[in-house]
Amino acid sequence: MNDWQGNRVFWDETLKHIEHQVSEQEFVMWFQQIQYARSEEHTITVSVPSSFYRDQVKQRYLDIIEEKLHELSGRPVRIDFEIQRAELTSQPAAEHNPSGNSANSTNSDNRSRKNGKEKTAPSQPMRHAPGLSQDYTFEHFVIGDNNRFAANAAIAIANNPGTTYNPCLIYGGVGLGKTHLLQSIGNFAWQQDAEKRIVYVTAEDFTNEFIRSIQENRTHLFKNKYRNADTLLIDDIHFLQKKNETQEELFHTFNALFDAKKQMVFTSDRPVSEIRDITERLQNRFTRGLTVDLQPPQMETAVAILNKKAEKTGIVVPDDVINLICQKITTNVRDLEAALTRIIAYAELVNKEVTVAVAQRQLKDFFSSPLQNNITVDVIQRTVADYFNLSTNELKGKKRTRQVVFPRQIAMYIARDITEASMTDIGLEFGGRDHTTVMHACQRVESRMRTDPTLEDVLHNLNRRIKEEGSRA
């Protein structure tokens, strides 16, 4: 038997052992999408659907996997990961329907099991919970590669609140669907049982309400409201930075609900590790369960989202117009929908057919990409310096310590990647360095990306923060 064939047997046997060591939900979530790819004598390469998925598996289970492989094979076997994006099937993107089937996801993606009973993706509620939007339902959420993991986690939570992935943190940039998924969980839970106490609140409103309760000597009512919730949904927890008393109250609320096995779901515009001035013990609570991220939609998903929105309005928007919008706008769902809304409003108000020429004329402001135009080397320097806890002067200065050189190279790489500045211009922005220094920095980052699996996520996080900073400029 060849080495790779033997390793395949050991891999399959390892999965069987792990399946009996972890819960069914854990195994479905973290192991069913790992695929054996190939192996050498001491290495097995497996494919996973995303960098986030890889990092989560490595953090949670890599030691267990490699220990079991060693035990079964009698020799050390290392696991290497490669990213294999899921291929879309019959349709480019799909929405969940009442049966839980999706045109571009497998049955295992859309279902979880509990006590031998199959749970399918929840359908659109016939009614919505008080304080929640009727548009924010699973039925209205279009699923693609950028959000499938998060959507399926939300569906699993809706089917088994308080038992599956509690707490859950959903993070991502502006306009990617965090609030939609959060309220979909609440709407579905309330549809199942209108007696359940579903509490949705933004972190800002939570803070303001807590302050008022102190001023009015009504903290007991505040605590009763939140600590007796069956499902607590808090939006935008990054707002809690530096609000120490509110963090303290949320910490105790969290403990009370967790001990009572009540479901909690939070959203943030960034990973908890990137939120400054949050107490360590509260950070630990946020990440105790499942953390999932949302990415900007790919072309196929964006087309499906706009087609669905256009269908709801009853206005015919040709495919070439939809494709044009999706090609030109790649930031987030909110920007895509805003562009389509303008086109639909134009068609309704002037009673004219929508054409590509009309779309180009009406959407010229959208297509001029003001977001990208606002991204300067200065914005990149400030964002990267803040991320690595440095000053911009250090990035531009002469220091050559490891703590400064690598962030400086990353900043140069990003500047070259997302701005129109030449290498000479970038070098001048970094203390008058020449273009060969910038070229070397870009080569160093590209080389390190091939050996450091975490660097891709660092660059992704920085790019997201830079674009958000640029949008505020």
User: What tokens were used for 307?
Assistant: 């087609």
Per the CB < 8 A criterion, the answer to whether 379 and 411 are in contact is no
Distances (CA, A) of 104 to 88, 91, 147: 5, 6, 12
Per the CB < 8 A criterion, the answer to whether 343 and 363 are in contact is yes
Give the pLDDT score at 103.
Answer: 32
Distances (CA, A) of 105 to 46, 101, 108: 20, 8, 8
Closest to 203 (Cα-Cα) out of 259, 138, 278: 278
Q: How far apart are CA 96 and CA 88, in angstroms?
A: 15
Coil, helix or strand for 439?
helix
Which residues in 192-255 belong to E strands, given as ranges?
198-202, 231-235
Q: How far apart are CA 427 and CA 412, in angstroms?
A: 8
CB atoms within 10 A of CB 176: 25
Give the pLDDT score at 247.
Answer: 95
Which residues in 207-295 belong to E strands, given as ranges?
231-235, 263-268, 290-293
Coil, helix or strand for 81?
strand
Per the CB < 8 A criterion, the answer to whether 238 and 203 are in contact is yes
Closest to 334 (Cα-Cα) out of 470, 168, 184, 178: 178
Closest to 340 (Cα-Cα) out of 312, 376, 375: 312
Identify the helix (H) or strand (E) that includes residue 400.
Answer: none
Coil, helix or strand for 92?
coil
Q: What is the DSSP string of 133-169?
A: -TT-SGGGPEE-TTTHHHHHHHHHHHHSTTTSSSSEE
User: What tokens were used for 375?
Assistant: 């991204």
Mean pLDDT, all residues of the chain: 82
Give the pLDDT score at 374.
Answer: 60
Amino acid occupying residue 160? N
Domains and CATH numbers, the chain: 3-83 (3.30.300.180), 94-293 (3.40.50.300), 299-368 (1.10.8.60), 373-472 (1.10.1750.10)
Per the CB < 8 A criterion, the answer to whether 385 and 392 are in contact is yes
Q: What is the DSSP string of 1-38?
A: --HHHHHHHHHHHHHHHHHHHS-HHHHHHHTTT-EEEE
Give the pLDDT score at 308.
Answer: 86
CB atoms within 10 A of CB 164: 24
Q: Low-confidence residues of the chain, pLDDT below 70?
A: 1-5, 25, 50-52, 85-128, 368-374, 470-473
Closest to 119 (Cα-Cα) out of 137, 138, 100, 144: 100
Give the pLDDT score at 115.
Answer: 36
Give the pLDDT score at 24.
Answer: 73
Residue-wise over 76-92: b if at least 16 C-beta within 10 A, else e?
A: ebebebeeeebebeeeb
Q: How far is CA 102 from the centre of its chain?
A: 20
Q: What is the DSSP string of 286-297?
A: HTSSEEEE--PP
Q: Which residues contact 341 (CB under 8 A, 6 or more apart)?
A: none
CB atoms within 10 A of CB 271: 18
DSSP 385: H
Longest CA–CA separation in the chain, Å: 76
Burial class (CB in 10 A: 0-12, 13-18, 19+), 463: middle
Q: What is the DSSP string of 163-191?
A: TSSSSEEEE-STTSSHHHHHHHHHHHHHH
| pTM for this prediction | 0.56
